[in-house]
Every structure is written in structure tokens, then in C-alpha cells.
Chains A and B, each alone.
Chain A
Amino acid sequence: MENIILPNIPDLHKIDVYELHGGYKALRKALEMKPEEVTDEVKKSNLRGRGGACFPTGLKWTFMPKQTMKPKYLCVNGDESEPGTFKDRQIFEFNPHLLIEGTLIACYAMGIHTAYIYIRGEYGKWVKMMEKALADAYAKRYVGTQILGTGFSTEIVIHKGAGAYICGEESALMNSLEGERGYPRVKPPFPAQVGVWGCPTTINNVETISNVPHIINNGWEWYSKIGAPKHPGPILVGVSGHVNKPGVYEMPTGVPLLDIINKYAGGVIDGKSIKAVIPGGSSTPILRGDQLDGVCMDADSMKAAGSAVGTAGVIVMDEDTDLIQVLTRIAKFYYHESCGQCTPCREGTGWLWKIMKKFERSEARKEDIDLLLDIANNVEGNTICALGDAAAWPIQAMLRRFRDEFEKRVKPEIVRVETGAVA
């Protein structure tokens, strides 16, 4: 299959080039449809969110109230901060108008007149690129009032984050947009009822939205046949770690992990064997190198293997990798990024990291293995947002699949031997 999200067309980020290759045709087509028909098309396509949870996109759109006196909002989530994930950045850089076009279609479908594109603060360069593209789109009147001469108007606002992973969590993102501290909100109410500025809001990932123009252009039937039937479409897979050609690869869903590593990413450096793979960004459960046969990049297959697609950030670790060091670093990340609002995550993430450091220094005790698991279990499911879960899963999975690695780092017990003699 040819790339459609990141096609190999030079200068596609320029609006004339984008138009030359059929750009903004989907918008034109959508505006001739009824908004419900657009939503229906997306629903039938089986597009599932690329922001981590694989949530059906069309279904999410139907949660937005039709009859409401309040304005409605769309937030396009480009906070992209999960370690191992760097795919939305490619869209900002190489196909920004696809994202803008998708945003406009989504707004039309849901009756939205303001969309925010929230981009992580560290992406300064890409914020500028998006701003340029948006200015061009405004100049050509694709965005703004009476788009393409129709009665439909939408403003798009680019918002730069201030450098916090938590602001990618949808409700923290909304608080951040409002100028508040990036604290996730207690749900319910869900964003479709009470979102930005207290109004109905939909949050979608950058890549999710970028799929929409293709669905409108080619129809749901075409789209739903790409890749894995229950989780179809093209997917951007970011491969990092011990591979010869790390990078972002577009492919249909359902590609075997081993193919991703060997065919797309050029295999493991120096032909070493794979010790472990984190398949979907740092929060997804780690898989053993000897468990990878038949595991494919789609929701069902990953679930069956005991992991998740997440944000399709594949981290490959070769036979020489110190997994305890890897996990310590991951634990440090979630500790550093916990917003500190709710008790189990605020206190638990730090504690987990402190114990992991003991393992890293080979100073842990045997009991620390169970303690680690117990703390992770006490965090999981008991927090306001899923960051708590994201901190717990890697630890639970590592303990499940690589318990021996922990055991090796336990400090030998010093046994006092009574000699009986008194000096």
C-alpha cells in the first residue's frame, strides 16, 4: 500500500503542492454532505483513535450534543510526549494541510466553529511550521468565515503547551488551554458534556484527524478494508532502540511486529537477538523477544499478546540491554510527569522510582520485588487519570515477564555466623 498520511511527495507541506495532489478536495466534498453523513462515514470506516486508547472515532463524535445553546469545541491533541512516540511531529512537518483539512471536516461534522491544535511546547520548530501552513490556509479561505463560499465557518487556533506530558491527557489539556494548571479533571462529566470553557468538546489525536480526509475522499468501505478489519487504516509506527533504521513508518495496521523491526526498520543492530520490545510507547506492557511471533500492530493482536497498540511507538531492545535500567528510566519519567494531584500517583510514582534505583544499584532486597508489584497495583485503577495506570503497567509487565532480571539485582544477604567463641 502506498503511503497516504505521509506520502513521498516533495514539498507537500506547501499549500499549492498539497492542492495539486488533490488537497482540500475532501473538505469540498464534505461540505456538500450533511454533517451527520460525514460522521456516519467516519463511524462506518471503523477508524480508531491513534492517541493511545484506540477509541472508535465516529462513535466519539456522536457523543457531542446536537441541540445545545453552547458553543462546541474540537481539540486536536498534538502534545505527543509519551517516550518512544514521535509520529505526529512528522505530520506537522510533512503534511500539515492534511491535518488542517481533517480538522475542518471534523468541525463541520460536529457543528464546531472553533478548533484548537495543541502542540507540545518542545516542538517549537513544528509549531512554526503549523503556523505557516495555517496562515496559508487562512489566506486561501479554507479556514475562517464562509469556507469555500458556503455558510460554514471555523476558526483554528494553534496553542503551544508549556512542557508537561500530563497536558496530553485530554482533560488536563483543556485546563491548560484555559490557562489553568495542567490538572486532569474528574470524569464524569466527560468532555462531550463539559469540556473546554465548560462547553461540549471532542478531543482527537493529530494522526486520527489526519485520517479523516482520506475517508471522505475514498469512502468508508475503501478505508475499512485497509489493514486489520477491526482496527483498520494506515498507522504511523515510530521505531526506536537497537534497530538499524529507526524512524517513523507508515503501514497498514496488522503488520507483524517482527516485520516492522526487520523489514521496515532494517533489523537489529549487529544482528543481535531481541531481548524485549515495548510495542506502543513507554506505558504499554513490555513483550519478551521470544514472544513476538505472530504479534501484529493492531488492537486485538496486541491485546491477545498482553500488551497494547498505544501510540505505536516500538522500542526495540537487544540481548545486551539492561532492562532494570530501562525500567528505572521509565519509572523516573512517570514520577517526573505525575501532576501531583491525586494521592496514589503523586506518592506512588516517586516510591516506585526510588525502589527501582535500588534494583539498578543491585541493592534491593528480595521483598522489594513484591513491594514493587504491590505499589504498582495500588496505583493502578485508583487515580484520577490514566497516568497512574501508565506508570503501573510497565512495572507490572516487567515483573510478569522478566522477574529473573529483578532477582539478579537482589543484594546477597549477609548471614551472621555465630562462632560461639568470645574474644
Chain B
Amino acid sequence: MAKITVDGQQYEVDPKLTVIQAAAQQGIEIPHFCWHPKLSVAGNCRMCLVEIEKMPKLAIACATQVADGMVVKTKSEKVINAREAVMEFLLINHPLDCPICDEAGECKLQDYSYKYSVGYSRFEHDKVHKPKRIELGPRVMLDVERCIMCSRCVRFSDEIAKQPVLTFTQRGDHVVLTTFPDTQLDNPYSMNVIELCPVGALTSRDFRFKSRVWEMSSTESVCNGCARGCNTNIWVRNNEVLRLTPRFNDDVNSYWMCDEGRLNTFKFVNSEKRLSGPFVKKNGALTRVGWDEAIAEAVSQLKTFKKSEMAGIGSAYATNEDNYVFQRLMKETIGTKNVDVVPHVKEGDEDDILIRADKTPNMLGATEVGVKPADGGLSLKGILQGIADGGIKALYVLEDDIASIPEIAAVLPNLQLLIVHSSVQNKTTEMADVVFSCSTYAEKHGTLTNFQGRVQRIRPAVSTIEQDRALDGFSMSRWDKFASRNDRWGRPNKRDARPSWRIASAVASALGAKTRYNTAEDVFQEMATRIPAYKGLSYLKVGSRGAMIQHSSKTVSSRPTVSV
């Protein structure tokens, strides 16, 4: 251990650390642009200059290793002057187009301008002009005038995404970020450079000009694109999801997420195909009905089958809570042993960064909470065979468009009863007799268990008709707080949907079950007492970063394999 002094306070730190790392560990932020905990040290922005006793010049905290007895000053006059100078330099050629820049509101340069800059400029010349609106790749746009040459994007592409296509050309204040000839920034992780970029030089082509940052609320969530379960934030304006961004979790996804998960796992939440309210098939057509009627219809139909004639398919997309209540409904209330889940694996579509071949976020969770055949019950194969043979006559499906798989679609017409939970209209709902419109992962509380066995929480970011952002403790944007009913953005589009655990629980009650749950957390608490792997867990323990289950499954690697 090395004893160091920072701004008069003594600390004992690991001697292998740099000053900026040691300070960060003690909760002291030394301002910086180019330094990033997961990238190599570039030392180019000069924002982290600090005074170190016995050193002739100011030193950059990012590249200076701590030493026993080192005395660091991060707030001395010399340091403050140097910082103000760096800020002034950074801003002289910057376009200062914050009013039309997507980054405004979450821009390091803007934030630091308020915090560390004098607030005026002594520069009275023409600014250097550089290329704008450059398509760096299919998903990322570049404005070189805003670039501060921190090289974070270059280092990310080289070191993390392993696609070294970015470089600088020209010299001095004419330096231009660009791609090498005949290459583009199109790796599966390319969009991470957008958050890495401390300014608005790199923007998302999907999100560009969609919203000011402060108009959106941001809610901690988990990506449902694959079994990695990257931690995310869901950004919502006027009850519409506008973007996902990665959220740091060193045990799961570091600071990153893949482009596929970022772009293609939220649009269905806003989709035109969303179901609002339950449907029952009447005279061959799905007809919108009330919840009570739909539940009564489902119950009365279910009662006409023998236990062995019924089967349930849980969902690797739904939460642990949904699956848990569902399997209780199937096994305990309805009394069938035939329960399983459909896997969705894309062989080969994986890498050793984040992407997993299992394209569901909760396969492990679903089976851990009991979505698997009871002793003597039929597995998925058996259930499908049973439907084909006519032995299985009624099927209850949780949040999975199973009819999009041709082998399954082929047997479904044999069924006499198909009950489906779905948030969107799809091939399976078209074949169903009863459809319950359920909340998406962006509209409910719950947990998902990733391939490592890490239980992670999701939270509602979009509200359904039953919810109120303020009363139900949602994250609130400026608009959410200040809009009135006459404002366009004060009348959001809300859907009539309920979390699957509540629907399943209501069906179970209608069938005579005693247990009732008021919240997803109630469900989780029961899981924690009944399922050994969840023993001792609670929402509090799961927190923002997740918690490991004591899993029984052999398919799980207990150590995180993410190496980024």
C-alpha cells in the first residue's frame, strides 16, 4: 500500500494505480476527457493536470503512477489556471452549437464549461471549419468540428471492438477524425463510441434530432436481446421509448452493449402492433373484451379439459416473477405436469465480447423458477407431439410468439384451446382463443436471470393506463414534471396492459387459488422462500447491479466471462 495525500487528505492506495484511478477510488473526481477506465491511457486532453510536490511541472493524473509519500493537489491555483486554460483552448475552435446538438445536456464539454471554465472566451478569430454530417458507418454520424480529438473512439475501436478503422489525419487544429480508406465503422459494437465521445461529435443515426436529453426520463433496465442481459437505461419521452443506452456493470457488460440490442429490442414497445386490452375469439374473430370477461372465458374453457390434456409454455422473454406465477398456475392450480419453455438460440451468432447465441434474456431464470416438466410431465417435444397426436388439447402460452417457428405453427391448429399472453399482435395471437395483453419489459417491475446466473432488476419506464408516473415512482423528465393537459406532450399514448404475473395470478384466483400478490416484489419474496437458488435474495439485494443465484444448473458458468 502507498500512502498518498490528495488535497490535504491522506489515503492508503494500491501502488499500482495511477493518480486518477486512486483518486476515483476515494470518490475524488479529477476532471478528464480522454481518460476512460476501460481504455488505454492517451494523455492528450490535458484536463487532468494536477500539481504533485517535487515535480517541476504539472503532471497528468491519468499517466502518473502513485508513489508512497506522494502529495497531490487537485485544486491549487496552478491547477485551476491550467484547467481553465485547457477549457479555453478546447472551446476556441468548438462550434458551440449546443442548441442544435444532440449531446447538449449530457455533454462533458458543456458540463465542464460550467464547472471548470471562466465563462467567456478571449478568442476573436475565425474558427477552423471541418467536415460535418459524415457517415462513419451505418449507425454512427460524425461532426468533426465538435470533435476534441480525445481518441476515445479510436481506442475503443482498436482495443475493445477490435475493428481498427478509425484514425486521425492532418495536423494541429486541422486534425480530422476519419475512417481508413474503404473501411467504415460497422462493427457490432460501433454505437458505444457515441456515449464514449465526450462531446456531440459522434451521434446515433437512429436517435439523431429525436429529442433533447432533458425531455426524456431515464430508467434502469436490462437489455432483452440475449442471455448476457446488458445493463441499460431506457429513455422515454411522452411515454415513447426513444433510445437505449448501456449502463455500467463490471460483472456483466462493463460500459458497453451491442448495436443489435440497442436498436432492436425496444421498438416493439412503441409498435403499432401493440395490444391494448384482452381479446376473446367470438364467431371466429378476436374481439376486444374487458379483463373480467377474458379471465372468465379462459377459466370456463380451461375447466372443460382433463389435467393431462393441458400444457403450458412459459417464456424465456418474461420475468422470473411472470414465469414463477405461471408455473404455479399450471402445476398447482390447473394441475398439469406438462410445462416447458421454448429456447431461442442462434447457433454461431456469438462472440467473446458480449453477444450470446441464446437470444433470450431469461432462459436460465425461467427454468430455475420451475418452468420445466414436473415429474412424469411432458417436455416441449412431448407437448408438441401431444398436440399433433391430439393428446394435448389446451395450451397456455406466456409471452412467446411460438407460432413464428414453423414446426410449432404446424401443430397449433389441432388445439381446441389456445390462451396467450402477448404484448403485440403476432402469429400466435392470431391463432389464439383468448389473448391477454401483457406489459412489456419496459412497463413492469421484475427480474431476469442472465446466463451467468445473475438476477437483475427491470423497472417500468413506460406507463400503462393503470399507472401514473408521479404516483408510481417512475423516473421523470422535465416534460413529465411540468407538462399540463393542454400540452401536446401531456397526453401520452398509454396502453391497457398488465404484467403477466398479475394476469396469471388472476386466472389462478378465478380457478380457486388462494395466493394473491400485490406487487412483483411480493412474488419475488415468495420465490426467495420457496426456491433454494433464490434463498436470501430480495429486490434490495439485487439492487442496480444484480446478484448471483445459487443455481443448480450445470450450464451456468459461475464466473463472469466478460473480459471487457
List residues of chain A with CB under 8 Å of any chain B CB: 164, 166, 181, 186, 188, 335-344, 346-351, 354-355, 371, 378, 381-384
Contact indicator A336/B171 (Cβ below 8 Å): yes
* B-side contacts of A338, CB under 8 Å: 171-173
State A342–B86 Cα separation when bound (angstroms): 10
How many Å from the CB of A178 to the closest CB on chain B? 14
Q: CB-defined interface of B351-394 with A at 8 Å, one 1/0 digit per residue?
A: 00000000000000000000000000000000000000000000
Residues from chain B with a CB closer than 8 A to the CB of A166 are 171
Segment 108-166 of B: residues with Cβ below 8 Å from A: 122-123, 125, 128, 148-149
The stretch that binds A, out of B41-49, B272-280, B483-491, is B41-49
Q: Are B173 and A340 in contact (CB under 8 A)?
A: yes
B82 at interface by CB-CB < 8 Å: yes
B90 / chain A contacts, CB cutoff of 8 Å: 343, 347
Chain A: minimal CB distance from B270 (Å): 41
| Contact A340–B175 (Cβ < 8 Å) | yes
Chain A nearest CB from B295 CB (Å) reads 65
A340 touching B168, Cβ below 8 Å: yes
Decide: B49 and A337 in contact? CB cutoff 8 A.
no
Are B149's CB and A348's CB within 8 A?
A: no
| Contact status B85-A339, CB under 8 Å | no
Q: Is the CB of B82 within 8 A of A342?
A: no
Is B517 interfacial (CB 8 A cutoff)?
A: no
From the candidates B57, B168, B172, name the one contacting A349 in the complex (CB within 8 A): B172
Q: With A164-B171, A340-B170 in contact, is A348–B46 under 8 Å at CB?
A: no
Kindly list chain A residues whose C-beta atoms are within 8 Å of the C-beta of B82: 378, 382
CA distance A382 to B47 in the complex (A): 10
- Residues of chain A contacted by B86 (CB below 8 angstroms): 343-344, 382
A residues near B167, Cβ cutoff 8 Å:
181
B173 touches A350 (CB 8 A): yes
Which B-chain residue is minimally distant from A164 (CB atoms)? B171
Within residues 188 to 243 of chain B, which ones have a CB less than 8 A from any CB in chain A?
none
Tally of contacts, chain A with chain B, CB under 8 A: 90
B60-87: CB near A (< 8 Å → 1, else 0) gives 1001000000000000000001100110
Q: Can you show 15 pairs from A to B with CB atoms below 8 A apart?
A: A336-B171, A337-B172, A340-B168, A340-B175, A342-B43, A342-B45, A346-B175, A347-B89, A347-B92, A348-B89, A349-B172, A350-B172, A350-B173, A371-B122, A378-B82
B174 CB–A CB distance under 8 Å: yes
Residues of B within 8 A of A344 (CB): 46, 85-86, 89
Whole-angstrom CA separation of A147 from B167 in the bound complex: 42
Pick the contact of A346: B57, B88, B149 (CB < 8 A). Answer: B149
Contact at B168–A181, with CB atoms within 8 Å?
yes
Interface membership of B429, Cβ < 8 A:
no
Set of chain B residues within 8 Å of A351, measured between Cβ atoms: 89, 92, 123, 125
A347 to chain B: closest residue by CB:
B89
CB pair A382–B173 under 8 Å, yes or no, is: no
CB distance from A392 to the nearest CB of B (A): 12
**With A186-B63, A344-B86, A382-B82 given, is the CB distance from A350 to B171 under 8 Å?**
no
Whether A346 touches B172, Cβ cut-off 8 Å, given contacts A186-B63, A378-B82, A382-B82, is: yes
